[in-house]
Amino acid sequence: METTLENNPKNIIYKKGLIIAGPCSAESEQQLLQTTIELAAQKKVDILRAGIWKPRTNPGGFEGVGTKGLAWLLKAKQLAGLKTAVEVATAKHVEDALSFDVDVLWIGARTTVNPFSVQQIADALKETKQTVLIKNPVNPDIKLWIGAVERLQKVGITNIGLIHRGFTSYGNTEYRNVPMWQIPIEMKRLFPDLPFICDPSHICGNRIGLYSVAQKSTDLDYDGLMIESHFDPESALTDKNQQITPDELSKLLDKIEWKKSYSNESNFVNKLERLREQINYLDEELISLISNRMKVVKEIGNIKKESNVTILQSGRYSEIIERALKKAKQVELSEEFMKTYMEAVHIESIRVQNTI
């Protein structure tokens, strides 16, 4: 029997193909209700999301309507028959959200990074059976993500899910928040029973890459998607570039191919396919990292040329090898492999600098 929200009362966020959608921010009652009506008409959304409190990087931007928006969300819930979800960052947020019958709370990336805040939220949820989603921390620190899960589990919260929304990185990339797929892959290995949801909106920061990232996540056996949708994205007060209309969302979801679940007869083959998909994406990230390394090598080559310094710096290469071998031992990679790999990288680095 297919697992659905209705026949799995233990955890309402578990459903293969779970869709959480709604505006980045609840801006007005009219805006939220109009978006909700259009989403409900598509009959593809399971949970309605809306930002009530909006932490902004810089002061002066729209920071949400606050608690009064919860009344709008409750009205939208009653109107459309959808479950609801909001982000919480403090114990007061938790109290207010629960008083307006919010079904799912999620801890945002800026909050996950702070153990004190996560503990405050966990303590506020101690006597409840609330469903909670945890976004990855903004920085690529898997221990903070693990710690957030453990803090909730320690107070008795069992209905927990994870959201992958990408990680902040320095410099320009094609993503607003780089996926760094290897980190969520490791979280899936550590917590195989927790529902795993991808947030392509925050990974991309635009509409263009939403389908590609969403499909990648389903290829990696994620359980659902959280996508921002607004009936009029261009008028949105926050993150307008990454929001899509309910109709556009419907078309995007129609293109998504959800991988079949394992069957007893083909368990081995299916597991192998999943792992190979993970290797494919990790290889893509590895190649991207090597490419970034070579960009730095080019800059070094230019500096050497300007200063009339030789390309080969034996002392520096010895330093790199020594550090790499030390790290290889820590992560259980063979010395022979690491020497071979670093030699190949070094040869390519010299080739790149020779072209300058």
pLDDT at 295 over 70: yes
Same domain, 235 and 283: no
Q: Determine contact, residues 148/112, Cβ cutoff 8 Å.
A: yes
pTM over 0.85, yes/no:
no
Same domain, 291 and 250: no
337: in domain? yes
Q: What integer pLDDT is reported at residue 261 of this predicted model?
A: 57
pLDDT at 91 over 80: yes
- Boundary of a domain, candidates 226, 255, 284: 255
Same domain, 60 and 146: yes
Sign of the four-CA dihedral 309, 313, 319, 325: positive
- Pairing assessment for the beta strands 160-164 and 224-228 based on DSSP bridges: unpaired
Q: Kindly report, residue by residue over 1-55, the tens digit of the pLDDT.
A: 344 444 444 467 888 999 999 999 999 999 999 999 999 999 999 999 999 998 7
- Boundary of a domain, candidates 234, 255, 276: 255
Smallest Cα–Cα separation from 37: which of 48, 28, 26? 48
Q: What integer pLDDT is reported at residue 2 of this predicted model?
A: 40
Q: What integer pLDDT is reported at residue 154 of this predicted model?
A: 97
Left (φ > 0), alpha (ψ -120 to 50) or beta: where does 14 sit?
Answer: beta
Same domain, 276 and 147: no
| Alpha helix ranges (H) inside 220-257 | 246-255
Give the Cα-Cα-Cα angle 335, 337, 340 (nearest 5 degrees).
Answer: 105
Q: What integer pLDDT is reported at residue 265 of this predicted model?
A: 60
d(CA 311, CA 306): 12
Could you give the number of structural domains in the chain? 2
pLDDT grade for 337, boundaries at 50, 70 and 90:
very high
Contacts of 229 (CB under 8 A, 6+ apart): 21, 22, 23, 35, 39, 243, 244, 245, 246, 248, 249
Q: What integer pLDDT is reported at residue 142 of this predicted model?
A: 96
333: in domain? yes
3: in domain? no
Mean local confidence (pLDDT), 204-215: 96
Mean local confidence (pLDDT), 64-70: 95
Q: Determine contact, residues 125/153, Cβ cutoff 8 Å.
A: no
* DSSP calls for 295-329: HHHHHHHHHHHHHT--S--HHHHHHHHHHHHHHHH
Q: What integer pLDDT is reported at residue 8 of this predicted model?
A: 44
d(CA 192, CA 199): 19
**Domain of 345, in residue numbers:** 268-354
Greater confidence, 13 or 341? 341
285: in domain? yes
Same domain, 43 and 111: yes
Same domain, 155 and 193: yes
d(CA 284, CA 203): 16
Same domain, 240 and 301: no
8: in domain? no
The residues that bridge with 106 in the sheet, in sequence order, are: 87, 133
Smallest Cα–Cα separation from 232: which of 221, 224, 243, 223? 243
Q: What integer pLDDT is reported at residue 6 of this predicted model?
A: 43
11: in domain? no
Enumerate helices (H) and strands (E) in the chain, giving the number of each.
Answer: 13, 8
Same domain, 283 and 250: no
Q: What integer pLDDT is reported at residue 264 of this predicted model?
A: 55
Q: Which two tokens stand for residue 171?
A: 């410099």
Greater confidence, 24 or 314? 24
> What percentage of the chain reaches a pLDDT higher than 90?
72
- Boundary of a domain, candidates 255, 290, 325: 255
pLDDT grade for 130, boundaries at 50, 70 and 90:
very high
Same domain, 103 and 248: yes
CATH number at residue 235: 3.20.20.70
Q: What integer pLDDT is reported at residue 9 of this predicted model?
A: 43
Q: What integer pLDDT is reported at residue 210 of this predicted model?
A: 97
Same domain, 161 and 77: yes
Same domain, 40 and 149: yes
- Helix 267-307 to helix 210-219 angle (10° resolution) is 130
9: in domain? no
pLDDT at 157 over 90: yes
Distances (CA, A) of 275 to 114, 278, 318, 343: 32, 5, 35, 28
Sign of the four-CA dihedral 47, 53, 54, 55: negative
Same domain, 198 and 166: yes
CATH number at residue 283: 1.20.59.10
341: in domain? yes
Q: Which residues of 116-133 are buried (b: 16+ CB within 10 A; e: fewer)?
A: ebbbbbbebbeeeebbbb
Q: What integer pLDDT is reported at residue 11 of this predicted model?
A: 66
Q: What integer pLDDT is reported at residue 262 of this predicted model?
A: 55
pLDDT grade for 308, boundaries at 50, 70 and 90:
confident
pLDDT grade for 58, boundaries at 50, 70 and 90:
confident
pLDDT, the chain, mean: 91
